[in-house]
C-alpha cells in the first residue's frame, strides 16, 4: 500500500543549525528538511516549543511558523 504525500511542496534534505525564537527565548535546533511551505526540525527532547514561533536560519531568512506535528525530539512546522 502506498501512502500519498500530503505536503504542499517537495522538501529537500538539509542539515542546517537554526534558532527557534519566541518571546525572549531562543532554542537551538537542526533543520532536517525544508520546502517552500514548511520544515522538519530536530529539537532537544526537553525543549518546550509553543505552537507558533519564529525560525531563524543563518544565511537564509526568518520564517514565521506554526507547529503541524510533534513526535519526541522532532517538530514539523508549516510556514505562515
- What is the CATH code of the structural domain delimited by 12-79? 2.40.10.220
Check pLDDT > 60 for residue 2: no
- For the stretch 11-61, pLDDT in tens is 555 668 999 999 999 999 999 999 999 999 999 866 789 999 999 998 879
Cα gap 71→8, rounded to integer Å:
20
Q: Region 49-76: what's the mean pLDDT?
A: 94
Hey, where are the domains in the chain? 12-79
What is the Cα–Cα distance from 77 to 44, expressed in whole angstroms? 16
d(Cα 21, Cα 55) in Å, to the nearest integer?
6
User: Of 17, 24, 12, 11, whose CA–CA distance to 53 is shortest?
Assistant: 24
pTM for the model stands at 0.80
Amino acid at each position: 500500500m502506498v501512502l500519498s504525500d500530503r505536503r504542499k511542496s517537495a522538501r529537500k534534505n538539509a542539515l542546517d543549525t537554526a534558532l527557534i525564537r519566541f518571546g525572549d527565548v531562543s532554542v537551538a535546533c537542526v533543520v532536517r528538511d525544508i520546502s517552500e511551505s514548511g520544515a522538519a526540525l530536530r529539537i532537544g527532547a526537553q525543549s518546550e516549543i509553543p505552537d507558533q514561533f519564529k525560525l531563524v536560519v543563518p544565511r537564509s531568512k526568518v520564517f514565521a511558523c506554526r507547529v503541524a506535528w510533534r513526535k519526541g525530539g522532532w517538530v514539523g512546522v508549516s510556514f505562515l
